[in-house]
């Protein structure tokens, strides 16, 4: 059976950056990829990440946080995109079912301080940075990305 290429977004808590990236890629690329996100220490998705994405018309309210053990070894990952520096240090460097590993560290919006409005502004900025990075990445992808058997 031929599978669509799998993209896995990784961060430490799978609560903001990786969740937003998962939502963005599903929105931008349709069904071109199988898209997952996971964390090395999963926590609940952050309510401000959900709100920031909702502002763009992307609903991630049904997303749940997942650990790596539920993905690696079970899904043939073609692209692993690590979206935080801490996860980059914690994630396995070599894994049999892992394809290309990309390191795209973004600021952690969950670490933002101040009022809720101040924090939401950081989530919006990081959301927009992730969206732009994915748009650029999709422009350089082959028309038909390689599938895995």
Positions annotated as catalytic residues are: 11, 84, 91
In sequence order, the β-bridge partners of residue 103 are: 82
Three-state SS at 110: helix
Bridge partners for 6 per DSSP? 34, 77
Query: Is the CB of residue 79 less than 8 Å from the CB of residue 6?
Result: yes
Going from the C-alpha of 59 to that of each of 53, 113, 137, the distances in angstroms are: 6, 25, 22
């Amino acid at each position: 059976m031929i599978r669509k290429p799998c993209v896995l977004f990784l961060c430490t808590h799978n609560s903001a950056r990786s969740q937003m990236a998962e939502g963005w890629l599903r929105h931008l690329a349709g069904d071109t990829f199988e898209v997952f996100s996971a964390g090395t220490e999963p926590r609940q998705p952050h309510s401000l990440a959900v709100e920031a994405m909702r502002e763009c018309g992307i609903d991630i309210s049904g997303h749940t946080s997942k650990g790596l053990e539920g993905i690696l070894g079970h899904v043939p990952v073609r692209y692993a995109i690590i979206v935080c520096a801490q996860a980059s240090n914690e994630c396995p460097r070599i894994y049999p079912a892992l394809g290309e590993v990309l390191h795209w560290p973004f600021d952690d919006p969950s670490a933002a301080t101040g009022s809720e409005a101040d924090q939401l502004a950081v989530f919006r900025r990081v959301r927009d940075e992730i969206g732009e990075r994915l748009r650029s990445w999709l422009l350089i992808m082959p028309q038909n990305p390689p599938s895995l058997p």
